[in-house]
Copies of this chain bind each other. A is one copy, B any other.
């Protein structure tokens, strides 16, 4: 792969990213002022196709980048993108609009990302069962119900209404709360299992059905609690010309509804460089995402870590997307709230 081929491949990809149309030799020469004739370009294109970096939708059409072409572009050609003043402005504006809750509310963050990239944004809060229980609280609500609030060491809060058996008064509830706190405080989630709970139950002297209920809650709410996934900007996909087909879109949206699958995608990736992984088309490993690409990055917010993904067409503006991510990461790590 000599320098000229790189140049041409780059030009083709840039062009295709903008236009979404197969690019031919003549148009390429016209738009990019390369000092070569269409014929030469044609030869080079034929070579690039043979090498697997380009493909032709049909014989008499221009070339479009293959997944391998994008991969090469991303790995070896693409240069850092510096946000334009307009983009910075927009970003600042959106940050201001999101206000204080940006780093605490994944939805706000997802919205921001989708708005700024115009792709689909995904935010996953890692299911991090090294967390320990910091505090458990029981707050009576009515005579027959109370709220159980559980605070974890990462600052996240879970809560659930539980019913109080007849005849159990505030005093007993208080005693129970104290007992539970003593017994579970400081224990890592991954170490909580039925055996532990069973042992604790044996120790307790008061109302058993109540302690049962709370332990059940702990088990089901905390341990089985699925990792949360927030998404925004799904409609952005409908603006891309390659997704004008309802059936295609439906398959993609259906897949997006299966949170577990998406969360799996966003897990750590061996190829990750600088905490950033890019999966292109078939690399994603999902039939319906063949024409998509996914950029995944981990992010340190003020009080916790999140994984974030940008899902767009394979014809994605990789450099710019990564630029946005880098800028935001910088913003948060330098104390942006």
Contacts and interface: CB of A to CB of B under 8 A. Distances in A.
Interface stretch (A117-125, A134-142, A274-282, A325-333): A134-142
A234 B253 contact: yes
Chain A's interface: helix, strand, loop or mixed, by majority? mixed
Contacts of A250: 235, 238-239
Nearest to A159: B157
| Size band of the interface chain A makes with B | 20 to 34
A253 to B, nearest CB: 4
A305 interface: no
A197 interface: no
Given A239-B250, A244-B246, A303-B145, A139 B151 contact: yes
A135 B159 CA distance: 14
Stoichiometry, copies per complex: 2
A149 interface: yes
Contacts of A172: none
Interface string A47-89: 0000000000000000000000000000000000000000000
B147 A139 contact: no
A151 to B, nearest CB: 5
A304 to B, nearest CB: 10
A161 interface: yes
Contacts of A245: 246
Contacts of A234: 234, 253
A337 to B, nearest CB: 9
Contacts of A220: 99-100
A243 interface: yes
Q: Which of A135, A147, A303 has the most CB of B within 10 A?
A: A147
A153 B141 contact: yes
Contact of A139 (B135, B161, B235, B249): B135
Given A99-B220, A235-B254, 17 more contacts: A104-B161, A134-B139, A137-B139, A139-B151, A141-B303, A145-B155, A147-B151, A147-B155, A147-B157, A149-B157, A157-B157, A234-B253, A238-B246, A239-B250, A243-B246, A244-B246, A246-B249
The 8 closest A-B pairs by CB, nearest first: A238-B250, A157-B159, A235-B253, A135-B139, A244-B246, A155-B161, A139-B151, A141-B155
